[in-house]
Amino acid sequence: MTTIAWRVLHIAVGVFAARASTFFGDGRVPADATMFDPRHQPERLPGTAAGGVALLESSYRWWRDGVAGLSEEELLKPLGPRGAFFAEEPMAMLVLHLNRETFHHGGEIGTLRDLYRAKWGRAAG
């Protein structure tokens, strides 16, 4: 069984940070690395809930700001080699997929928090 922490970090790292690094990179990963290259992941992962939430917030902002800066043409353009086996798919499809991933795992976080509260009588922190 996975935890709330795993799901928060999955969204922060696997959904937002890796994709933001791939398509809106900060220069630390070579431009020819695919979106599945582990070098797109943060060098260190947080060890606290507050650190995990902070990473989720910053990763989301990085991705959101990058997408918001795209033109319609860029949204419709295929991802190319950095998209690996999704190379022929447009950026808009990746945006849609990442939304679904976030909804899916975010819903799981909410469910686990509800179960925790039902058993122990307080919200998970």
The tens digit of pLDDT for each residue in 103-123 reads 999 899 888 888 888 877 765
Q: Which domain holds residue 64?
A: 4-26+48-120
Q: Is residue 33 part of a domain?
A: no
Q: Is residue 34 part of a domain?
A: no
Mean local confidence (pLDDT), 51-67 = 97
Mean local confidence (pLDDT), 28-52 = 93
Q: Is residue 89 part of a domain?
A: yes
Q: Is residue 39 part of a domain?
A: no
Q: Is residue 88 part of a domain?
A: yes
Q: Is residue 36 part of a domain?
A: no
Q: Is residue 37 part of a domain?
A: no
The model scores a pTM over 0.85: yes
Q: In total, how many domains does the chain have?
A: 1
Cα 39 to Cα 123: distance, rounded to the nearest angstrom: 35
Q: How many CB atoms lie within 10 A of CB 26?
A: 8
Q: Is residue 61 part of a domain?
A: yes
pLDDT band at 39 (very low <50, low <70, confident <90, very high): very high
Contacts of 103 (CB under 8 A, 6+ apart): none
Q: Helices 91-120 & 49-68, crossing angle to 10 degrees?
A: 160
pLDDT band at 93 (very low <50, low <70, confident <90, very high): very high
User: How confident is the model at residue 41, as a pLDDT?
Assistant: 93
Show the DSSP H helices in the chain as ranges.
4-9, 18-24, 49-68, 72-76, 91-120
Q: Which of 7, 19, 6 is nearest to 83 (CA)?
A: 19
